[in-house]
Amino acid sequence: MADTRATDETSDNTGGNHSSGDGNPESREVEKIRDLKSVLVTSVLNLEELDVNLYRGTHHWVPRSRRLFGGQIVGQALVAAAKSVGDDVYVHSLHCYFVRAGDPTVAVLYQVDHIRDGRSFMVRSVRAIQHGQPILICQASFHKLQPSPLQHQFTMPMVPPPEDLLTEEQLIHLYLTKPNVPEKLRQFLNQRLANEVPIEIKPIQPQPSLRRPATEPRKLFWVRAQGHIGEGNMKLHCCVAAYISDYAFLDTAMLSLADYKAKFFASLDHSMWFHTTFRSDEWMLYECESPWAANSRGLVQGRMWRRDGVLAVSCSQEGVFRVQPVNHRNKL
């Protein structure tokens, strides 16, 4: 299982032709959009400095739950923490609790505490605040680069390259061209299309219908930030990865249960470990699995792979799930 190649990349696990664009007008349109600077950089993660160690963040996309997207709060908290450290240290891990639902109608304040500045490691604590109360507490630790001969990593799963797969959006368009799509499902899918989440996803095994069988709680998809970010700013790529890592992650735990839907679900905590350099605006394979669920909670673990097979980020999260049976006759 272990691959001692670790961070020195040479091969590409996905095979296939990796040139972007296939000459058709739709692909060219997508490439044009990709030339625009990512909204994650221009707006979502662009915090306003209010005072020393105090920042304000605003929102771009809000999920259907009408509570703030957890990835946005974690990403913004990491931006605030990273502003308080020098350019010679990089975030290597963060650990957060979502203690209250975020209110999408007001901005979020981020207050940074300097916990410790050591010789190799620096630790920061960030509180995200709305209405005078914390909605998230986050500890982030930063490390100087200290190369070592101790190196290993798991091997990236073999999957088709992103160029051979359709985006979620393209899959939905394709599905909607079919005759006899139930009205409720059509409405649901149209809502998905209206979603302005600044992330692109290409599922490895798409599930086109709401009515899916119970499966192993594991899924794989290619993911990247929408728009251009560019090389060079590793701090920023880590903050964008924090945003991305919470999207479509927690529902992995629901895959083992068919014929139920989550009446209420929310992430309780979120942890990340950053292993090496990567580009969050380039395709990364997100491997998500849930080793356990019971007692109205589920644990999910994720690995983000660079497409050359290097393990870039590991994540884990526990969520609360209140489920109820789906009445298919009414829904479809």
Contact range with ligand MLC by CB under 6 A, out of 37-45, 183-191, 219-227, 261-269? 261-269
Least distance from C-beta 220 to ligand MLC, angstroms?
Answer: 17
Q: Does 104 bind ligand MLC (CB under 6 A)?
A: no
Min separation Cβ 201 and ligand MLC, Å: 13
Measured CA to CA, the distance from residue 250 to residue 32 in angstroms comes to 32
* Per annotation, catalytic residue among 267, 290, 301, 314: 267
CB 125 within 8 A of CB 116: no
Give yes or no for a contact between 259 and 328, defined as CB atoms under 8 angstroms apart. yes
Q: Residue 57 or residue 309: which is nearer to ligand MLC going by CB?
A: 57
* Count of residues in contact with ligand MLC, rule CB under 6 A: 18
Report the candidate in 289, 326, 309 with the shortest Cα–Cα distance to residue 188.
326
- Site for ligand MLC (CB under 6 A): which residue of 6, 30, 54, 101? 101
Kindly state the smallest distance separating residue 266's Cβ from ligand MLC, in Å.
4
Asked whether position 268 contacts ligand MLC by CB under 6 A, the answer is yes
User: Closer to ligand MLC at the Cβ: 305 or 321?
Assistant: 321
Instruction: Indicate whether 260 belongs to the interface with ligand MLC (CB under 6 A).
Output: no
Catalytic site includes residue 209: no
Does residue 221 bind ligand MLC (CB under 6 A)?
no
State which residue, 243 or 274, has the beta carbon closest to ligand MLC.
243
Tell me how far, at minimum, the Cβ of 41 lies from ligand MLC, in Å: 20
Site string for ligand MLC, 41-80 (x = CB under 6 A): ----------------------x-x-x-xx----------
| Shortest distance, position 240 Cβ to ligand MLC, whole Å | 16
320 contributes a contact to ligand MLC by CB under 6 A = yes
| Phi, psi (rounded to 5 degrees) for 189 | -70, -35
Q: What CA–CA distance (Å, rounded) separates 268 from 170?
A: 32
In whole angstroms, how close is the CB of 314 to ligand MLC at the nearest point? Answer: 18
Q: Is 317 noted as a catalytic residue in this protein?
A: yes
Residue choice 91, 165, 240, 250 for contact with ligand MLC (CB under 6 A): 250
Among 6, 220, 266, 332, binds ligand MLC (CB under 6 A): 266
98 part of the interface to ligand MLC, by CB under 6 A: yes
267 is catalytic: yes
Catalytic residues: 246, 267, 317
Interface ranges with ligand MLC (CB under 6 A):
63, 65, 67, 69-70, 98-102, 246, 250, 264, 266-268, 320, 322
